[in-house]
Each structure stands twice: as structure tokens, then as C-alpha cells.
Structure 1
């Protein structure tokens, strides 16, 4: 028996009892007058309100889980393109919208590029451009830190609809900036072809996805900056004149070995990196250098000269703090053969 509210006449307590046992939520006794209809209407209203509240809670939980899942996915090293695809799919599913998009702001052209999307005509993702002026919802969104909600684009007075939205019959939508107003990266949006409202929970959801994308983009930019700095550092070391630079750990294992001086001994970085002091150099060199390596790991800087294969070198060992505050050591070797002064 369905969970409905049946009318029962007097003397039907047995029927009512069986109905409740079968899962009926409530029942009303038949009686004269209209009071029973008012009571029935109130109970139906309460049940509908309760059902809607339960559905909203279910949707909010699903949206929160989607943001959490996206955050975990962002940490897998998936790359921005894959993350954008996952984001627009999550937004479209979480809001039950026909369209969703990630727009990348191109300040040189003052336009947005459609980087990822759901529902748009084939061939538009990666190609379609949207103006960044206030004539578009995205452009307007770029000017504010608050989410922009459009109930009906046909009557919208704050901005006009760009062709991307108009060509798809978009009526309602929501958009949020990715990044900040001072350093905007782009806009995240979702749209429908039918008029519909967006709740505060919907706004929080889209904002959460946008924040996840912002964090991932900033992390990618930082890693790119670090990679560039590392490459410049390696280039500098590789061209270190008449000598070499060596970074070693507490096992006296070389982590980095670069410099023009390596080739003078027929060595390459690959011949040295990953090997220990004793695996690279002869016992006589190891005997003199090992105590100085240990001193560097203990925080002491030393400078000395040493002959190796008929040439004179000035060497410096010094302490270096690595990642996670791990103590490392560095050796800087300079060929001073033929110089009038040496240390």
C-alpha cells in the first residue's frame, strides 16, 4: 500500500491500523463538514514541504561531495585540461543544467576563450571567443567578486547576452570568477534554456568549484615558475667555468654534479649524480675530502687546495639546507692551475 492518507469511517480502526502498519503516514476519519479537507490540505502541504527540504539536503550533500572529489582529483597531477573537463561535468550534473563552461581570460585581446564545456555545439570548445566587456555575462562577472545570477537573459538589464549564449537559447545562468578581480584567470558558468532560479546552495557549490580551480591554477603557475628557476639554475651550473659544483647528502651521495670542469675528466653529470664520493673518486682524493664533506654537513665552511690528475684546484665545502629542512652539503671546485695565487 502506498504511503498516502486514506479516509476511514468510524469503526474502521482495524483498517487504519493495518494501513499504518503497511507504511501509511497518517489517516483521517470520515466526518461531516469541510474541516477534514482543510486538515488534509495542511498535511499534504507539510509533506510536500518536508519532501522538498529532504531533496534540497540531498542535493547539497551531493554538491559538497562533488567539490571534495574535484579537490582530490586536482591533487593527482591530472593537468589543468583534464581538471577543467571534470569541473564542467561536475557543475552541469550538480546543478542539473544543460550547459556549463570554463572561460579563460585573454587580456591581450580582452576576450575569453572557451577552454572546457558541456552542452555546447561541436567544435566550439577551444575555439569560441566571448567578449570581456560588460556586454557579456562573463565580462560583467570579471568586474565583481560576487557570483552573478541571471534569471532571464531576455530581460537582463546589467549586460547583454553574447552570441555563445544567444545561439544556444540560454535563458538563466550563474557565473563566478576564477581567480580574483585583481588577478583574474577566467570565469566558471552554468546555464539553462528554461527559466529557473538558483539557490544559495547552488551559488556556494559553483563558488567551491571555482575556488578549487583557482588553487590548482595557482599551484600550476608556481610549479612552472619553479621549473623555470630550476632550469636557469641548472644552465648556470652546467656553464660554470673551469670547475664544477656538486651537491651531496648525508650519505655523501651526489645529488647534483654540473660544470664545464667535468668534461676535462671525461665525466658527465650522469656519471656522477646518484653515486657516492668513494664511487667516483680514487682513495687518495676521498681520504682528504671526506672529513671536509662531513664538516659541511655539520654546518662548517672550509676552503682548501688539492692537486688532481696533474692540475691544481681550489675547493670550497659549505652547508646547504634542502627541502624539508634536510641538511645537505655543496662543493665548489675551481681549476686554478697556472694562476699566480692560490689559497
Structure 2
């Protein structure tokens, strides 16, 4: 809009009264029949000029100055309004959120380009339409209450509504409203609509991930507790047979297996022999063995690495033992029992239902197998030491010649029965002499 300049306005205000007075003089002379054109015209012009000069100060201070001031204020207000509208347009066009303008009746006056991206409507499809027609029926009352509160000068909290998309789906949005005023004192309602669907999905995803993490932490904590319990139980006994049963039983419960079997390498390293099993026949213990190319255990021992079977029906890496299929077994896990870099045996578990084993489950199972291997190896060595001690004790006591055992410092540590009989002392008496 183009405004008059101050100079142009001043000229109009100064000469307008002069023209009015001059016209009044002419009209009066015509009515009174006193019209003598040359004389009266000059006299009228002079009278009008004198009257205008007399009234000019009043015209200047009471008419000209206020009018010019008002025009200046209007011009500044108009400029400020245009600048404000330009800033709003720039903000709305660049905003990543939907920006809408509504009149006080709730009709849409403006939507920014993001609206078309998220809802699918072009601007001319929504402008002039009632905003409620794009809001889910269950959310319309809530949106209306927010609009009325904004009009009343309140600052209501954002509301969450479902907006109808062009394809028929709904978009979850969080709506914040505010008053927008124009230069003439009228008002409209501005709204920022944030796509709550993405935030909602992100929140749900975070919550789901957190639940999974908490579940995994709980499961792993439980499994680690079982592993620690397994370690404690391994150290509670040195009996080889008891250790075998603990290893098979605890590993079975650790991963929720249906079958658990522990096999060790024969002395000649040619085959794996079942030392204990849960699920298969007890008659297999000490009698059933696997050689190269037979069963999962042989593959594990040969590769010195864990292996799993997803489905024995499609397994081609080794010959599947008939008893596996006879029992309806589907999946399995096997890990080598390692001691100082050598294979002591294989720990294997089988399941009836299809099962995939996570890396951490395989690592945990491997840890358990290695602990069991060390405990069993120690128990084997201890049993051999005990057997050797027993053989020596038998020889020592049954010898017909006296036998004396001394410490390096000369103390008598042990004597046999023959020594006691030869010297006539009891064992306690002989040991007490030193």
C-alpha cells in the first residue's frame, strides 16, 4: 500500500479551506444578486485568502499536525506489520513443524509446506476449511477447548490430537497455540503442530530396547550366578564321577537344554567316549564313542572350536548318529573342553525344538566347559596321586624289612610295622624318640 507524502498532504490541507471559502463567497453573491464578476471575483479571492491566513494557525495545530502524525503512525504500523508478516512467513516456511493460522471461528487461513509433506494436502485443499474436519472425532472437543482458551487470553498447555492424513491414516501431533494480531486490531490463532508420531515411535522404540536390555541383563545376571554357583560346586568335590554329573546337570539347566552329554578323548586320542549323559540312555556311559566324522562332538574336537546345529535334518558336515534322530532332536550346541591349549573333551547339549544360540550363550557355555575340564583334569590327577599313595602304603606296610623314612633335617617321619617288630617299639614310641 502507498501512502501520501507529508508535502502533498500539507498542500491539500492548506488550499482546501481556501477553495471552500472562495466557493462560499461566489454562492452568496449569486443568491443576493450582487454578482459583478471582475470586482466580486477579486473581492472573494481576497476575502478567502484573508480568512485562510487568519485560520491557518488553528488549521496547522489542530488539523494538520494531528493528521500528519496519525498518517505517520499508520505508516510505521503498516511497515511493522509487513515486517512481522515477512518474519512469520520466513519462520513458517523454514520450520520443520507444521504451522497453521486459523480465524477465531476455527477456519484455516494458512498452512506451511510441511503440512503437505506430512498430511498430504495441498494448501488450496485446506485453506478455508474448518480445522475440526481434519481432527479425529474423539479429539475435536479437546482442540476446541484449546482454541477458546487462546481467544480468551489464556495460555493453555499443548494438546495431543490425531490429524487426518489424505490417505485416511492418522498422524499423532502435539499442538501449541498462540494469538496473532493484525494491523487493524483483529486477531487470528497461530498453531505449531509437532509430529508426535515420530517422537512416539522413537519413545516406544526406546522403551522396547530398554525392556530388551533389562531382560538380557536379568538373564545374563542369572546365568552368571549359575556359572559362579557351578564354579563353587566344582570346587566342593574332587570325586570324578560327581564332577561329571555336576557338569552335565548344571550346563543343561544353564541354557535350558533337553539333553546334556559330556565326552572325553580316549587315551590314544582316536575317539570320544561318553562319560556322562542326561536324556540319553545310561547304558551309553563308558560304552558309546564317536570317531572322526561322526556326530557334532567330533567336528568340535577336530576344529577345536564351538559349533551349533540349527536342524539335524539338513546337517551335512558330519554323519548324524541314529540315536539323535530317534529321539526327535532338532538343534544342538557343542564346545571343546580346553586345558592349556589342548582338547580334553567335548560338552554337548541338544534340544527337541528348533533353537538358535546367541554368541553370549555360546561364550558362556564355553566358559563352563573349560572350568569343568580343569576340574575333571585335576580330579583325574588327584585320583592318580591317591592311587599311587595307596600302592606305596601297601608296599610300605607289607614289606618284611624295616623301613625308616627321615626328613632332610634328620627327623624320623615314618616307620613300617617290620621296623616296630624288629626294635620292639610301637610306632608312636619310635616317632617320639626323635
Q: Verify same fold: TM over 0.5.
A: yes
2:217 matches 1:57: yes
> Which residue of the partner structure matches residue 224 of structure 1?
383
Which of 320, 324, 329 matches 1:161?
Answer: 320
Deviation string, structure 1 residues 147-171 (Cα, Å, up to 9, x no partner)? 1122222222322321232222222
Deviation string, structure 1 residues 225-276 (Cα, Å, up to 9, x no partner)? 32244345435544667533045799x7x65222633222455xxx415x67
1:202 deviates by 0.7
2:416 matches 1:258: yes
For 1:139-218, list aligned pairs within 5 A.
139-179=298-338, 184-218=343-377
Runs of 4 or more, structure 1, over 6 Å off, are none
**Secondary structure in 1 aligned to 2:162?**
coil
> Which residue of the partner structure matches residue 250 of structure 2?
90
* Alignment gaps of 5+ in structure 2: 1-137, 144-158, 165-169, 173-196
Work out the CA distance in 2 between the residues paired with 1:190 and 1:117. 10
CA 1:130–1:38 in 2, change beyond 3 Å: closer, same or farther? farther
Which structure has greater helix proportion?
A: 2
Bigger shift: residues 198-207 or 41-50: 41-50
Work out the CA distance in 1 between the residues paired with 2:229 and 2:251. 12
Work out the CA distance in 1 between the residues paired with 2:356 and 2:431. 69
CA 1:226–1:194 in 2, change beyond 3 Å: closer, same or farther? same
2:232 matches 1:72: yes
Answer yes or no: is the 8 Å Cα contact 1:245–1:259 preserved in 2. no
**Secondary structure in 2 aligned to 1:175?**
strand
1:74 deviates by 1.5
> Which residue of the partner structure matches residue 427 of structure 2?
272
2:163 matches 1:32: yes
1:125 deviates by 5.2
Provide the TM-score with structure 1 as the length reference. Answer: 0.62
Work out the CA distance in 2 between the residues paired with 1:180 and 1:164. 29
1:63 deviates by 1.8
* Alignment gaps of 5+ in structure 1: 1-7, 13-27, 279-285, 287-292, 294-343
Answer yes or no: is the 8 Å Cα contact 1:105–1:185 preserved in 2. yes
Which of 93, 100, 119 matches 2:279?
Answer: 119
Deviation string, structure 1 residues 48-94 (Cα, Å, up to 9, x no partner)? 22222222222222222222111111212252222222222222222
Higher alpha-carbon Rg: 2
RMSD after superposition:
3.4
Structure of greater relative contact order (alpha carbons < 8 Å, 6+ residues apart): 1
1:198 deviates by 0.9
Which structure has greater strand proportion?
A: 1
2:265 matches 1:105: yes
Provide the TM-score with structure 2 as the length reference. Answer: 0.50
